[in-house]
Amino acid sequence: MADKADQMESQVGPHKLEPKIIWKDRPPMTSGEKACGATFYILLLVQIILGIVVLASQNVKHMQGSDCMWFPDESCCDDGYVQHMGMCVKEELQKEYMQCMQDNPTFRRLNALGKERNLWDALEEFPQVPAVLMVCMLVLAGLWLHSLRKFARPICWATILLTLVLLLYMAIRPATAGHGIQVAPLILAVIMVGICVWKRKAVDTAAACISTASTGLEETPSVFAWTALVMLIYVAYLALWAVFMIASVTVWDVRIKEQCEGCGEACVLGMSKLSEDTQKFLGVLFSPTVFFLQNASMIICATGIGAWYFHKEDPEYKDAARTGFRWAWTTSSGTSFFCAIVMYIIAEIKKLANSSAKVCPFHPAFWCWLIMQCFANCMQACTRYMLIAHTFHGDGIRQTIKNSFDVLHRRLGDAVINDSIAQLVLGWSTSIFSTAFGFIAWAWLDDCMEQGLLNTIGDSAAGAGSEILILILVLVMFFFVSRPIFTLVFVAFIGTLIKADILVGFMGGIFIGAICCIFFRYFSAVVLNSSDVIYWCFALEADAGAPRQERFEKVYNMIETQIVVGQPVPGQPAGAAQGTPVAPPAQQGQQMMAVQVPEGSAAGQTLQIQSASGPMNVVIPQGVAAGQTFQVQVPTAPAQAQAVEPAVVGNATQA
């Protein structure tokens, strides 16, 4: 293992990045990293302090009991509180409000606002529904991971086909109802087909990365364990954030406001300025904090899967995921928060693009939306690879940006496609699984209670318009399960109040579907992160000309036709012997390899590439410039090392 490490260190690419993770003697944090890391922790601390202040300042409570929502009275409030506008406010606050109204007579008065099971009663009565579905969810995740390992390529192409079918359905379906064909989905489908044909080998590479990542995750379960801990931290933060936001609604004061133009000023008893400012502050910081936590999972995946790829026999491999967890909160926190801010800006760009999107493809806004989406996806992928680069080598933000650019600028399109295909596959699986579990829970609860909305709708669906009805049901379920946080908060408030068996099944369906969505998003994020890490490992290995690892032989064969970047050979004269692109098929014992000419090299110069038989010397043909590619024929079996001139036109020789 030590000999192999020495060989890998001696064959680094032009960017000087070694194909390994630096565990010890990592570069110290730069001042920029320290500033970003300190900013994150300061903002997180401010969020917590604001939340505590809001909790301590509460002077309003929600009424207790479902009857109080519809028929509020003084009995709905605790001692020391009085009813006001459907809420319970402290008596001194109410007195302050009444005094304000006496002192300001010109005011506008504000307007006031058989036993069945609710959702929680139903889940308590039928506990087998959530219990069995949660077990099935875990089993399905394991089976899906194994399927991605064994059948990644057909799954990727099937997902692309499914997306094309959906786009074509969206384009053609309005025409069957007497309307015209929707051109925008049709154009997107055509663009997608063009990209898949042009970059079909990159799609196969993405499948290879997903398959290898799934193998690594099966053999490195500690990655799931430590990312699950990050997931628990995310849930805890989410719970605190929700508590603080809800509590901010219960901090009121009395203020004099102008109600409308010409109406004069009036006393208003409502949310205080502290509440309004707290909501704005927490709302703005929510997304960057969530992205930081997602980046922590990425760092864990980078160390765990990267160590499995390069350092499986090293002692560091066993504790790699734990090391990544520690780095995520310490030395890598600055770069992680910087990437979180970039991802937040990208997310806002996507929102801006979606808000201004036009269905009509002849409108300039449609093409602006398309360009902004492509730009945002490229930036998102580059930011993720930048974080992986930092995790591997520990450089500062500026150096990490340069390193990631040096590795990816020759293969940027393939890198973005790798990230996009993985997101497409895992996004579809999350949506399908979550929606399916939601419908299963809905139907099961309706069956247990022997009545429900789904049963009623099912009887109606037998008639005309069943296709539209089924589509509406799927869209409604997808709307709720794809917004799990909103759905869980919605169910938490409404689940107790609704006591109608016909609606309880639906409430249970969206509740369990939302939980499944959170779980599968976590699972998909781990697989997606690991897939990007595998691509980065492939890129480093290719640039370094590192020897092939026997355990990845199938993967190497799958991506054999992908470009290999040649490295200039020091001391070799330009024009020693000239090769030409090889068009004929490879002979027995030979294989074709595409070689990309690196920057700074020219025709006639000798390059070194890494083939199945070891390092090989090739000569750049005439007419091939930097950045272009040419093909060579190389042996598939290791050959005896000897220093020879490349005598055969278009063939590689043993270095």
229 vs 269: which has the higher pLDDT: 229
Q: Quickly count helices (H) and strands (E) in the chain.
A: 21, 12
Determine contact, residues 50/61, Cβ cutoff 8 Å. Answer: no
* Whether residue 28 has pLDDT greater than 50: yes
639 vs 467: which has the higher pLDDT: 467
By mean pLDDT, which of 60-74, 360-374, 544-558 is the weakest?
60-74
Determine contact, residues 84/252, Cβ cutoff 8 Å. Answer: no
628 vs 211: which has the higher pLDDT: 211
624 vs 443: which has the higher pLDDT: 443
Most confidently modeled range among 116-120, 297-301, 348-352, 361-365? 297-301
**Euclidean distance between CA atoms 288 and 340, whole angstroms:** 5
**Residue 69, helix vs strand vs coil:** helix
Q: Per the structure block, which two tokens stand in for 635?
A: 């042996």
First-to-last alpha carbon distance for the chain, in angstroms, is 23
> Would 653 be classed as within a structural domain?
no
Element (H, E) at 196: helix 183-198
175 vs 335: which has the higher pLDDT: 335
341 vs 178: which has the higher pLDDT: 341
84 is in which domain, residue-wise?
60-103
By mean pLDDT, which of 110-119, 425-434, 483-492, 537-546 is the weakest?
110-119
**Euclidean distance between CA atoms 437 and 359, whole angstroms:** 32
Pairing mode, strands 590-596 and 564-565: parallel
**Residue 265, helix vs strand vs coil:** strand
Determine contact, residues 334/238, Cβ cutoff 8 Å. Answer: no
Residue labelled with tokens 């609704």: 498
CB atoms within 10 A of CB 347: 16
> Would 516 be classed as within a structural domain?
no
Q: Going edge to edge, which strands form the sheet with 87-90?
A: 60-62, 87-90, 81-84
Determine contact, residues 434/481, Cβ cutoff 8 Å. Answer: yes
**Residue 259, helix vs strand vs coil:** coil
CA atoms within 13 A on the CB side of 164: 14
> Would 599 be classed as within a structural domain?
yes
Determine contact, residues 142/221, Cβ cutoff 8 Å. Answer: no
358 vs 367: which has the higher pLDDT: 367
> Would 593 be classed as within a structural domain?
yes
Residue labelled with tokens 């409570």: 61
pLDDT given for residue 10 in this prediction: 37
Helix axes 501-544, 412-449, angle to 10 degrees: 160
Which residues, in sequence order, are CB contacts of 583 under 8 Å at separation 6+? 631
Average of pLDDT values for 191-197?
A: 88
> Would 582 be classed as within a structural domain?
yes
Per-residue model confidence as pLDDT tens digits over 398-420: 888 888 888 887 777 788 888 88
**Euclidean distance between CA atoms 390 and 399, whole angstroms:** 9
Average of pLDDT values for 230-245?
A: 90
> Would 627 be classed as within a structural domain?
yes
218 vs 598: which has the higher pLDDT: 218
Pairing mode, strands 265-271 and 252-258: antiparallel
Q: Using CA atoms in the order 323, 328, 330, 336, what is the torsion angle rounded to 10 degrees?
A: 150
Per-residue model confidence as pLDDT tens digits over 520-550: 999 999 999 999 999 998 888 877 766 777 7
Most confidently modeled range among 431-440, 455-464, 569-578? 431-440
Per-residue model confidence as pLDDT tens digits over 63-76: 766 556 556 666 67
107 vs 179: which has the higher pLDDT: 179
| 162-187 b/e (C-beta count within 10 Å ≥ 16 → b) | ebbeebeeebebeeeeeeeebebbbb
61: left (phi over 0), alpha (psi -120 to 50) or beta: beta
Among 49, 77, 103, identify where a domain stops.
Answer: 103
At residue 269 the predicted structure's pLDDT band, cuts being 50, 70 and 90, is confident
Average of pLDDT values for 457-473?
A: 64
At residue 111 the predicted structure's pLDDT band, cuts being 50, 70 and 90, is very low
* Count of the separate structural domains present in the chain: 2
CA atoms within 13 A on the CB side of 292: 25
By mean pLDDT, which of 98-107, 174-183, 230-239, 327-336 is the weakest?
98-107
**Euclidean distance between CA atoms 565 and 636, whole angstroms:** 18
Determine contact, residues 566/605, Cβ cutoff 8 Å. Answer: no
50 vs 552: which has the higher pLDDT: 50
Average of pLDDT values for 106-119?
A: 48
pLDDT given for residue 64 in this prediction: 66
Q: Per the structure block, which two tokens stand in for 443?
A: 């139907």
> Would 595 be classed as within a structural domain?
yes
* Whether residue 511 has pLDDT greater than 80: yes
Average pLDDT, the chain: 78
343 vs 544: which has the higher pLDDT: 343
Average of pLDDT values for 423-437?
A: 92
CB atoms within 10 A of CB 305: 31
> Would 623 be classed as within a structural domain?
yes
Full-model pTM: 0.76
At residue 326 the predicted structure's pLDDT band, cuts being 50, 70 and 90, is very high
Q: Per the structure block, which two tokens stand in for 331?
A: 């030395």
pLDDT given for residue 462 in this prediction: 52
Backbone angles phi, psi at 495, to 5 degrees: -60, -35
Per-residue model confidence as pLDDT tens digits over 560-589: 544 444 444 444 443 333 333 333 444 455
pLDDT given for residue 200 in this prediction: 83
Q: Going edge to edge, which strands form the sheet with 564-565?
A: 564-565, 590-596, 629-635
Q: Using CA atoms in the order 473, 474, 480, 483, what is the torsion angle rounded to 10 degrees?
A: -160
Average of pLDDT values for 409-436?
A: 87
**Euclidean distance between CA atoms 384 and 529, whole angstroms:** 8
